[in-house]
Amino acid sequence: MKLVVGMSGASGAPYAKRLVELLRADPRVVSLSLVLSRTAATVYAHECGGHPSGLGVPVYSGRDYDAPFASGSAPADAMVVIPASMSTVARIAHGISDDLLTRAADVVLKERRKLIVVPREMPVSAIHLENMLSLTRAGALVLPASPSFYHRPKAVSDLVDTVLDRVRDHLGLPAPGARRWRQEPSPDSQPADSAQPHTAGHLRPVVDYGEDA
């Protein structure tokens, strides 16, 4: 699978960092590129330290339309915009391809490939909601960065992974160790995720809200 990850300037750079690490280690992914918006590197430095160029995949930014996936003649199979700022959401929703990230997303939509948008903002205005509705109507999947807690996360990375498990499901690249409601991780969960520390795979999906809840 040929994938593009677009990182914009919303809070949530650790989602993008971890997703790139996981996809890089996934043998089902034959090509992986990272596209940065104008603000992505600034937020990444704040939240992760360093620069995304250290992630070991080809990194594009700005208006580098030389990237193959800038054209409908060589589109990616799928693209994930994570985290997606409200500015990036707005521009994709309105077909404003003013940088490589928004152009790549536009290409994925027009070529009827898979676009997963992981917005991050709170609260949201009517403008934000309408833009997300437009994206949905255009065929994108809007998958908010809303971690789940029923697996009793022990670390921030566990929360991050609850979102990424869903992203990978929708890419058609399910993680063997994905936390699922009332299911144990499969016994072969190690290979796909073993490239990076992964602390939550052993947790049983149990909810206990107490008798009075």
Q: Which amino acid is at 23?
A: L
Pick between residue 91 and residue 151 the one whose CB is nearest to ligand FMN: 91
Q: Specify the stretch interacting with ligand FMN by CB under 6 A; choose among 8-16, 64-72, 148-156, 188-196.
A: 8-16
Rounded to an integer, what distance in angstroms lies between the CA atom of residue 156 and that of residue 142?
Answer: 22
Angle at CA of residue 194, ends 202 and 187, nearest 5°: 45
Cβ proximity to ligand FMN: between 33 and 85 the closer is 85
Q: Choose the stretch contacting ligand FMN; rule: CB under 6 A; options: 2-10, 57-65, 68-76, 131-139.
A: 2-10
In the chain, DSSP assigns E strands to 2-7, 31-36, 59-61, 78-84, 114-119, 141-142
Nearer to ligand FMN, 87 or 186 (CB): 87
Select 37 or 97, whichever has its Cβ closest to ligand FMN. Answer: 37
Residue ranges in contact with ligand FMN by CB under 6 A: 8-11, 37-40, 42-43, 46, 85-88, 120-121
